[in-house]
Amino acid sequence: MRRSTRIAPSILSADFAALGAAVDCLVAAEADYIHIDVMDGHFVPNLTIGPAVVQALRKRTALTFDVHLMISPLDPLLPDFLDAGADILTVHAEAGPHLHRSVQQIKQAGCRAGVALNPGTPASAVDAVLGDIDLVLAMTVDPGFGGQGFLRAQCTKIAELRARIDESGRTIDLEVDGGINEGTAAEARAAGADVLVAGSFVFADGPGGCAGRIRQLREAAP
């Protein structure tokens, strides 16, 4: 049975001087997950949040922390993010040569494991780990920055991933990240997404506007 849409606002678009308050607002706004974008200035051309910040935010809420690692190499830093309190830890298939090892490390720590695919990576890249993971993240922008335009051609790949997940018979979230607004949310949902990440759209009116913006996404993509 199709699961209802979950909304995962990205705090990448929040005021970095007030991240705690942003998390409080998202909790009050009944976000499903809090999406935390970790960038290393190497795998992607931007530097953002480290494990110390995740650990500090962890004290504000028990809501699911959906941590998206855009770092390479990734294995040396996995323990730090696991200790910091990630609930879902997602690694990029393109970030290193040992995807199973990274996934196993996450699962052994009792955390949910995700695998993300850049727009240029085919859906088949998840086949070898589909029996082990809890989430597939389909990027609809090249990762690195918020506020980029939704790559519509990725909807074909989202549908391919949906088919693979359904065929596996396992409970795996299909998350879509990049350029999500009230229009593209419906397109991603129609293609098969069940978790929608949104940064610039959710924070466009400041933290006070988050609840209304999350509601708009839920109405656009039920």
List active site positions: 37, 177
63/48 Cα distance (integer angstroms): 21
Nearer to ligand DX5, 12 or 95 (CB): 12
Binding to ligand DX5 (CB under 6 A): which residues in 105-164?
141, 143-148
Q: Which of the choices ligand DX5, Zn ion, none does residue 180 contact, using the CB cut-off of 5 to 8 A by kind?
A: ligand DX5
Q: What is the 3-state secondary structure (H, E, C) of 127-176?
A: HHHCCCCCEEEEECCCCCCCCCCCCCCHHHHHHHHHHHHHHHCCCCEEEE
Give phi and psi for 116, each to the nearest 5: -105, 145
- Of 23-31, 106-114, 117-125, 177-185, the segment contacting ligand DX5 by CB under 6 A is 177-185
Binding mask 13-42 for ligand DX5 (x = CB under 6 A): x---------------------x-x-----
| Residue 176, strand partner residues | 138, 196
Q: How far is CA 175 from CA 20, 56, 80, 159, 188, in A?
A: 24, 25, 24, 12, 9
Judge whether 214 and 30 are in contact, CB under 8 Å.
yes
Q: Rounded to the nearest 10 degrees, how much is the dihedral formed by the CA atoms of 131, 133, 134, 135?
A: -110
Nearer to ligand DX5, 72 or 168 (CB): 72
Q: Is 213 in the site for Zn ion (CB under 5 A)?
A: no
Q: Which of the choices Zn ion, ligand DX5, none does residue 147 contact, using the CB cut-off of 5 to 8 A by kind?
A: ligand DX5
Residue type, 113: A
Binding mask 75-94 for ligand DX5 (x = CB under 6 A): --------------------
Q: Which of the choices Zn ion, ligand DX5, none does residue 179 contact, using the CB cut-off of 5 to 8 A by kind?
A: ligand DX5
Binding mask 64-103 for Zn ion (x = CB under 5 A): ----x-----------------------------------
- By CB under 6 A, name the one of 106, 126, 174, 198 that touches ligand DX5: 198
Q: Which residues contact 125 (CB under 8 A, 6 or more apart)?
A: 93, 115, 117
Q: Residue 21's closest CA among 198, 207, 197, 212?
A: 207
Site residues for ligand DX5 per CB under 6 A: 10, 12-13, 35, 37, 68, 141, 143-148, 177-180, 197-201
